[in-house]
Amino acid sequence: MPHIISSPVALFSRLAHYSRNELSLSLHIREAAFGVVVEVEVDREEFEYGIILSILVWRQVGSFECVVKHSLVSVQDIDNPVYYAERRNQQLKKLAFDGTKATNDRSTIPRPHTPYKCGVVWFYHIPCTGGSSINRWFRKFNSPQYGNVSYYQNWALETLKDGTFCKNPQRVEDKFAEGMLKHVQNLAPTEWRIAHSHLVDFYLNESEDLLNLWRSEVEAQNCEFISSIMIRDPLNHALSLHKIIKSKNSTQEEWAKHLESPTKQGLWATVLDFFLYNNQGNRQRPNYPRNPGGRNPFNVSKEEKVARAMELLARHFDIVTMTHDVFRETIINWTGLEDIPIPRSNVFKGKLTFSKREVEKLQKGLKANGDTDFVDAVKRKYDGYLSYLDS
């Protein structure tokens, strides 16, 4: 049965985890009465590690039929950490990818002529990283006192009070993407706009096409698209999220058990997992080895997750920081918006108590998941961490 795609998504091949993988394929697009049929033929040998290819087609109207020929799903246990592991890790080493030396690295772009005259600031908000304060700060600019800067967001709670996941995350994704495309169009010559992305609305690992589209729309108007993010120490982040346990119908004993599996979806997401996969327990895609597959759906290794995250930061993010001061100063310098302080929001005033064993277990889980390595890499590249070793 062909898979019918009704949402407007850009034409892109999605190769398990890495868009840079090379496959031998032939692509045929032909008109049909209902829209477009896409047929894909690939070499079966290219799929020996369980990689599945799907082609998604973008058009403004109509429905789309996708036919994938000669795909092969691995029959290995997808909850086993060795799934995809040996040969895929060899490939990774062969690629010798270093996120600090990625091509098109936005952190290396010279910016001698700031502030820019117009543009869109997009903030990707990982929960419990100080993002609520930044979002409240951004919304101040939406007032007449600070310029009536247009502001856009459309997100939904990832888990409900009964502990179940958002029922229809695809609807939230589609609505956010639709609104975001409108938000980046028809900018006035000196106009700035702000967009806030948060829970459920954006799945970064498989949505580079949207980031490229938004940036190209803004730059075609001779304006600047500024993508930004705040990162936090993984242990502090994970400990802080314990404050919402009761509101998610969970217990301290159960809260971090999902980290014992490389693919299991939890009621909360670590810094690395949210960055790549948001927190969408019901996300459906035809090329996921098992459906749904919100967290690490292809069961890649922690090394691949970290490399992919650093690759995405390098390709797409202009502001990456761990402090509010750096975030505020950079935004003000690049946009010319009024320099107003960032207010503190969503501050937990209760008490969280952990045993030494609980902290050590959580720290071990974050290390195994790749979070410790990821944040260390971020600190070293973007925050000067251990820079004295490079001299």
**What per-residue confidence (pLDDT) applies to 17?**
35
Question: Is residue 126 located within the same domain as residue 178?
Answer: yes
| 79: helix, strand or coil | coil
Asked whether residue 119 is domain-assigned, the answer is: yes
Distance CA 190, CA 187 (A): 8
Looking up residue 171, the CATH number of its domain turns out to be: 3.40.50
Q: How many structural domains is the chain composed of?
A: 2
Asked whether residue 93 is domain-assigned, the answer is: no
Asked whether residue 94 is domain-assigned, the answer is: no
Asked whether residue 7 is domain-assigned, the answer is: yes
Distance CA 186, CA 289 (A): 41
Asked whether residue 141 is domain-assigned, the answer is: yes
Under the banding of pLDDT at 50, 70 and 90, the label for residue 391 is: low
Nearest 5°: phi and psi at 343? -75, 150
Domain boundary (31, 59, 75) is at 75
Question: Is residue 12 located within the same domain as residue 54?
Answer: yes
Question: Is residue 108 located within the same domain as residue 50?
Answer: no
Question: Is residue 137 located within the same domain as residue 235?
Answer: yes
Task: Determine the structural domain holding residue 71 and report its residue range.
Answer: 3-75
**What per-residue confidence (pLDDT) applies to 127?**
94
Question: Is residue 33 located within the same domain as residue 170?
Answer: no
Domain boundary (75, 109, 125) is at 75
Question: Is residue 271 located within the same domain as residue 136?
Answer: yes
Question: Is residue 57 located within the same domain as residue 131?
Answer: no
| 347: helix, strand or coil | coil
pLDDT reading at 362 higher than 50: yes
Question: Is residue 128 located within the same domain as residue 274?
Answer: yes
Asked whether residue 90 is domain-assigned, the answer is: no
Question: Is residue 163 located within the same domain as residue 24?
Answer: no
Nearest 5°: phi and psi at 63? -110, 165
Q: pLDDT tens digits for 137-187?
A: 999 999 999 999 999 999 998 888 888 889 899 999 999 999 999 999 999
Question: Is residue 63 located within the same domain as residue 205?
Answer: no
Asked whether residue 92 is domain-assigned, the answer is: no
pLDDT reading at 12 higher than 50: no
Kindly provide the b/e burial profile for residues 332-352, where b requires at least 16 CB atoms within 10 angstroms of the residue's own CB: eebbbbeeeebeeeeeeeeee
| Token pair in block for residue 339 | 């320099």
**pTM higher than 0.85 for the full model?**
no
* Those residues with Cβ within 8 angstroms of residue 192's Cβ, 6 or more apart along the chain or in another chain: 118, 119, 120, 121, 141, 147, 149, 335, 336, 337
Q: What is the CA radius of gyration of the chain?
A: 21
Asked whether residue 86 is domain-assigned, the answer is: no
Question: Is residue 179 located within the same domain as residue 231?
Answer: yes
Question: Is residue 52 located within the same domain as residue 116?
Answer: no
pLDDT reading at 68 higher than 80: no
- CA dihedral (378, 382, 385, 386) in degrees, to 10, reads 100
More confident residue, 111 or 15: 111
